[in-house]
Amino acid sequence: DDDVMLSRTRKRFEEPIAAKDGAMSWIETIKTPVFNERGEVIGTTGIARDITERKKGEEILRRSHEELEKLVYERTRELEEANLTLKKEIAERKRVEEDIRRLAMVVQQEAEAVVIADTDGNIQYVNPAFEQMTGYPRDEVLGKNPRLLYAQEHNQAGLEQLKKSIRAGASCRVILHNRRKDGRAFWNELS
């Protein structure tokens, strides 16, 4: 019964104390009232211990926690900004992809033949109008040079003019005498 009474009234304190040289220390005290047989407090018992190192550790942890919280806040802001930038880039990419899709649809449906060649002159793309005009299926011309279309009496001067314009990054129009896959000749204006 006395033990229950003692434990219910026990108090714990942490207090800073200054030494004569001005150095700060921390002590922890546990104070317990002492009662007589009538339940009156007749004194106090106490235990004191130096907790300076623990308090220093707690302070280091507190500062580290604050620094970590600051870093987390800053990193969260950076991530939010990066996320916003990424969302804008995704929206822009979707817009560009939609523009490309529309352009591809227009080129696919164009009534005029469209040929895209690489810098070596090898065919990379032809639209359906090209297939109708020349009789060559797409798969047969991809990777090949458009020379396969030249008729025997082709316009060499026009081809030279075309090559010169392409190298200069300029546009030009030439009329070429070409042949279909079945050998029939046809004239076309190339720009």
Average pLDDT over residues 129-148: 93
81-126 pLDDT, tens digit each: 999 999 999 999 999 999 999 999 998 888 999 999 888 889 999 9
Cα-flanking dihedrals φ and ψ of residue 180, to 5°? -80, 175
Is 70 exceeded by the pLDDT of residue 53? yes
16-40 pLDDT, tens digit each: 988 888 888 999 999 988 888 888 8
Average pLDDT over residues 161-174: 86
State residue 148's pLDDT score.
86
Instruction: Give the predicted TM-score (pTM) of the model.
Output: 0.53
State residue 8's pLDDT score.
55
State residue 22's pLDDT score.
86
